[in-house]
Amino acid sequence: MSVIYLDNNATTCVAPEVYEAMSPYFTQYYGNPSSMHRFGGQVARGLRQSREAIAALIHAEANEIIFTSCGTEGDNAAIRAALDRQPDKRHIITTAVEHPAILKPLQRLEKQGYSVTYLGVDGKGQLKLEELRRAIRDDTALISVMAANNETGTIFPIERIGHLAKERGVLFHVDAVQAAGKIPLDVSSGVIDFLVLSGHKFHGPKGIGVLYVRRGVRFRPFLAGGHQERGRRGGTENVPGIIGLGTAAELTLKSFDEDHTRIAQLRDRLEQGILSQISDTQRNGHPGLRLPNTANIGFKYVEGEAILLSLDREGVCASSGSACTSGSLQPSHVLRAMGLPYTLLHGSIRFSLSRYTTAAEIEQVIALLPSMINRLRELSPFSRDNEATHPWLQEQSQRVGIA
Ligand code: PLP
């Protein structure tokens, strides 16, 4: 059975051009880029080109780019670096809808005595800048806000947040893992101090990421060791990964406008096909300020897990931020922060497209969903008629803290 892959916010396929560019670096150009000999020099040249390609993607300078092993490493390293250089400041501001790569290290820091403000979002998943402004304190060391949300695709106004941070002399870190390759990223105004990317989210390989550190920001290496990355990240470089990442960045820039328009049209068609044919559905997230590739749809009165399994049986890969993907029974912290009712919290599915998604695939999904959802709803104990009165639903809503 052929697969319709609509889970590109989880990971993307490696572009054929990326694979081709990486390939010789496993068997032919396998020298260590730090070596003095010609063989190493050849590899070092490849790394330099990739660094320049990544810098061009975000309008940075090549020496502001540090290669890491993944987005999670970059996020952890940025947080650590920001705090290490300001030991007297013990307050951090972030949002309630960040990825665990931010939330988990911050929770750990809270246990060590740091204070963290988690800004809430509205029903569309958007931040209130006034709340952020009010949250800044004299001892705020860092503001960490994602560029775009992985579950809903909602885009945060990072440039404006950066200006707020700069006015108050606070360091600003942006997790741009989901934004890279999907919306333009530009650090050249100088208001972003740290920015993180991950190769596997935009058709690069897994196991390679980027940490941008603005020139002039003091940075203590997260991984202390050799002199690689100009002493900012020890460890022999993942050369094929870096080459693949650079190629992925070049490809992104080459077809950015075309991809953006086409993917957004397909995403809109998918949403329209679902929302117009299936009752009690809604789009989760911001209607305008969002990634072009992400559709998060709430199907009331159906378990998301059941939808995912049924889709999987038809060869369609999608995901949900709740029990099904995380392995926990907790509903998505993002949808919860948006105040969604229980029946939507548990019945929301994320479809995420890529440059390789076709119109025929989208039509196939639109065609199979209505009968699938009807079938599942027939098995569900919940419906529009008993939503307000069902005792179990009331109890669960209270348990997860929603009205
Ligand atoms: N930040 C965001 C917003 C993400 O979506 C992800 C991965 O899904 C990460 C960070 C972590 O990236 P990586 O898998 O490269 O560690």
Q: For residue 105, what are the contacts with CB-CB under 8 A and spacing of at least 6?
A: 75, 76, 79, 80
In ligand 1, the atom with minimum distance to the C-alpha of 148 is 3
Indicate the number of domains in the chain: 2
SS3 state at 310? helix
- Dihedral sign for Cα atoms in the order 319, 203, 174, 81: positive
HEC assignment per residue over 152-175: CCEECCHHHHHHHHHHCCCEEEEE
Edge-to-edge strand ranges of the sheet holding 294-299: 281-284, 294-299, 348-352
* Whether residue 34 is found in the same domain as residue 162: yes
Residue 10: both structure tokens together: 């989880």
List the catalytic residues.
Answer: 324
Give the DSSP letter of residue 61: -
Q: Is the CB of 125 under 6 A from ligand 1?
A: no
* Whether residue 62 is found in the same domain as residue 194: yes
Taking the centre of ligand 1 as the mean of its atom positions, its distance from the CA of residue 68, in whole angstroms, is 13
* Whether residue 338 is found in the same domain as residue 350: yes
Domain hosting 290: range is 4-9+256-399
Residue 345: both structure tokens together: 């919290």
Beta strands in 208-326 (DSSP E): 209-213, 281-284, 294-299, 316-317
Max CA pair span of the chain: 75
Q: Is the CB of 198 under 6 A from ligand 1?
A: yes
Domain final position from 208, 224, 252? 252
pLDDT score, position 36? 87
* Whether residue 78 is found in the same domain as residue 221: yes
CATH at 380: 3.90.1150.10
* Whether residue 273 is found in the same domain as residue 303: yes
How far is the first Cα of the chain from the last one, in angstroms, to the nearest whole number? Answer: 43
Q: What are phi and psi of 115, to 5 degrees?
A: -110, 135
* Whether residue 221 is found in the same domain as residue 299: no
Q: For residue 148, what are the contacts with CB-CB under 8 A and spacing of at least 6?
A: 154, 155, 156, 176, 178, 179, 182, 183, 290, 291
* Whether residue 61 is found in the same domain as residue 202: yes
Atom 9 (ligand 1) nearest CA:
71
CATH at 168: 3.40.640.10
In ligand 1, the atom with minimum distance to the C-alpha of 74 is 16
pLDDT score, position 401? 55
Helix, strand, coil share of the chain (percent; to 5): 45, 15, 40
* Whether residue 286 is found in the same domain as residue 157: no
Angle, CA of 139, 143 and 147, to the nearest 5°: 175
Q: Is the CB of 71 under 6 A from ligand 1?
A: yes
CB atoms within 10 A of CB 236: 11
* Whether residue 225 is found in the same domain as residue 291: no
Domain final position from 234, 252, 270? 252
Whole-prediction pTM: 0.95
Domain final position from 218, 252, 286? 252
* Whether residue 190 is found in the same domain as residue 335: no
Q: Is the CB of 74 under 6 A from ligand 1?
A: no
* Whether residue 243 is found in the same domain as residue 306: no
* Whether residue 233 is found in the same domain as residue 267: no
Q: Provide the residue-wise pLDDT of the chain in tens; the chain has 403 residues.
A: 789 999 999 999 999 999 999 999 999 999 999 988 888 888 999 999 999 999 999 999 999 999 999 999 999 999 999 999 999 999 999 999 999 999 999 999 999 999 999 999 999 999 999 999 999 999 999 999 999 999 999 999 999 999 999 999 999 999 999 999 999 999 999 999 999 999 999 999 999 999 999 999 999 899 999 999 999 999 999 999 999 999 999 999 999 999 999 999 999 999 999 999 999 999 999 999 999 999 999 999 999 999 999 999 999 999 986 544 445 557 899 999 999 988 888 899 999 999 999 999 999 999 999 999 999 999 887 778 777 777 677 777 666 554 3
pLDDT score, position 228? 94
Taking the centre of ligand 1 as the mean of its atom positions, its distance from the CA of residue 50, in whole angstroms, is 21
pLDDT score, position 403? 39
Q: Is the CB of 12 under 6 A from ligand 1?
A: no
Q: Which of 8, 150, 155, 334 to mutate to test the pocket of ligand 1 (most atoms within 8 A of CB)?
A: 150
Taking the centre of ligand 1 as the mean of its atom positions, its distance from the CA of residue 170, in whole angstroms, is 24
